[in-house]
Structure 1
Amino acid sequence: MMKNTLQAFAIGLLFGCGLLLSGMANPAKVQGFLDLAGDWDPSLALVMAGAIAVAMPLFRVAEARSRAQRPSWSGAVISLPGKHGLTRSLILGSVLFGIGWGLAGICPGPALVLLGALQWQGLLFVLAMLTGMVLYRPLARWLH
């Protein structure tokens, strides 16, 4: 248990440092990337391309290990989401995520980094995110 906790901490710390170094935790830089009609900053596209280049082969390894019912390298069970088509919920969630990311210049990972750095934007975003999580089920029932 302690080994998994230390692994999770080390991976989270590495991820947070990567977000800081890449500028992804800087809302102004993110909004500059999203401002295609203005003074566009393409640097975050390189960050995303690098992340995809690292993640794709590792997801393939995880898929193969999952199909073979082998545990992850840490010994934990691999549980990957299924591949399903586009649904109304997926599209609506993606649109809401994109609008929030565009308005705030923050998404959940960088929000936690900002919160850890005691930045008010991180606190505000995390409170809004938690509110959305609490309201999701009642709203989903009401909409269906």
Structure 2
Amino acid sequence: EFRLRAARLRYDRAAQLIDRASDAITAIIGHAHGHIAMERAARALGQAQSRLLAMASQFNRALQQVDRQRVTLGTTGITSTDVKRWLQTLRQPAALLDTAFAMPVGLCALAPHELLDVTEAEFERDRPTQG
């Protein structure tokens, strides 16, 4: 994802050149007046411009695919990309494990009567009706 976004920035700079190429093609064609070399140069610019525009659609599709795969963590608005960026800024990410192991997770236990209520409800829901 990060490489795609960096490439997209480079493409955006190239897109500015595409716009300038359109102006150049128009100027070349306007002044060509039968000069074959100028017409070829205009055609080559047009073909390069076409290839860059095709790459733009590939970038957009790839970025859309990345956006579809991004996960938002609950209602926080924090995405998996945000977490990755944060992890990349840490000097010693392994140090996170030290604090994680220092605070073990406690198990929550349900009271037996709650377990029975849930089990009974599930059993009743799945039982076929007798008719």
Which has the bigger relative contact order, CA under 8 A and spacing at least 6?
1
> Which bracket does the TM-score occupy, shorter chain normalised?
under 0.3
TM-score by length of 1: 0.25
Larger CA Rg, structure 1 vs 2: 2
